[in-house]
Amino acid sequence: MLNQPDATVVKTYLMELQDRICVALRETDGGAGFREEVWQRPGGGGGRTRIMQDGAVFERGGINFSHVFGDRLPPSASANRPELAGRAFEAMGVSLVVHPRNPYVPTSHLNVRFFIAEKPDAEPVWWFGGGFDLTPYYGFEEDVRHWHRTARAACEPFGADRYPCYKAWCDQYFFLKHRNEPRGVGGLFFDDLNEGGFEHSFAFMRSVAEHYLPAYLPIVNRRWARPYGDDEREFQKIRRGRYVEFNLVYDRGTLFGLQSGGRTESILMSLPPEVSWRYDHQPSPGSPEAELYDVYLKPRDWLADEEPTTEADGAVPGEDTRTPGQVS
């Protein structure tokens, strides 16, 4: 059992996680591959940025591994822990955002990270954080239930209270206060996790990371070939604007990266390639676009009528089995 925090073993896992997710997304897309850039941070550390653009299924997918360190924690990392201000730090993580081309396929986000802050003659302070969340443009209840069912399965081995706690935290965190609306339908969010010791917390972070693909890819397979038109595409671009607003105004990872002198292109890889802002846009009452606001962009217990299971289901009924390029 690992009794002391071990940044090396976390780094090895995160780099291997980035590799596996890239392979899975490339195979799902069937078209574009990933462009990789290895970068160095002048203040210490660096990372690997991998970007897929203009794929058959994914319009943009960015998967970033970073490992940075420095003499002082930036303000975004010590805002909730002022006693850590001024400590040397080491931070590493994998962060990804996938923006599909088809408006009926949701955008998804995953982030898992590890921080350790140290100073002479004191015990190191460390924690894990992360989670995943889903941002649909058109609502399908079976997709949202599958997403949350898989999120719950990631948490179940660690206690019955984990899913409702981290689901509620996700709803609270991914909320645009200036719009008074959530970014999407949520998922999991956790931070400052060191409960139960290093090995236990590391295992939870890994469980969240390992459940991302089973949560997301069945939804992609079900929706990517659904026909759409200009109106659906325009609504997708408008809703993508909300994504930009959240990432630039509220997202802790973006703020940490910019404040710690990280690589700007890698930090902003999460932004969608095409976005629209329309003044006071209001969807027509009773439309599928209005349904997104009326039904899906509201915090809700999506699994209230379901019993917990020991593992997530691996597919969504009725998934499309055509390969990319077969869309009529």
Beta bridge partners of 297: none
State yes or no: 67 annotated in a binding site: no
Q: Is 263 annotated as a binding residue?
A: yes
Rounded Cα distance, 136 and 174, in Å: 13
Separation between Cα atoms, residue 148 and residue 312, nearest integer Å: 9
Asked if residues 231 and 239 have their Cβ atoms less than 8 Å apart, the reply is no
| Cα(55)–Cα(33) distance, integer angstroms | 8
262 assigned ligand-binding residue: yes
Kindly state the tokens that stand for 34: 């990933």
Does 95 belong to an annotated binding site?
yes
> Is 113 assigned a ligand-binding role in the annotation?
yes
- Active-site residue, 109 included: yes
Q: What is the dihedral of CA 64, 168, 77, 184, to 10 degrees?
A: 40
Check the annotation: does 211 bind a ligand. no
* CA-based nearest residue to 58, from 109, 105, 110: 105
Q: Which is catalytic among the residues 109, 146, 200, 211?
A: 109
Tokens representing residue 169 in the block: 């935290």
The residues facing 64 across adjacent strands are: 49, 95
261 annotated binding-site participant: yes
**196-207 burial, b for 16+ CB within 10 Å, e for fewer?**
eebeebbebbbb
Annotated binding-site residues for substrate read 95, 111-113, 261-263
Annotated binding-site residues read 95, 99, 109, 111-113, 148, 178, 261-263
Q: Give me the active site residues, please.
A: 109
Annotated binding-site residues for a divalent metal cation read 99, 109, 148, 178
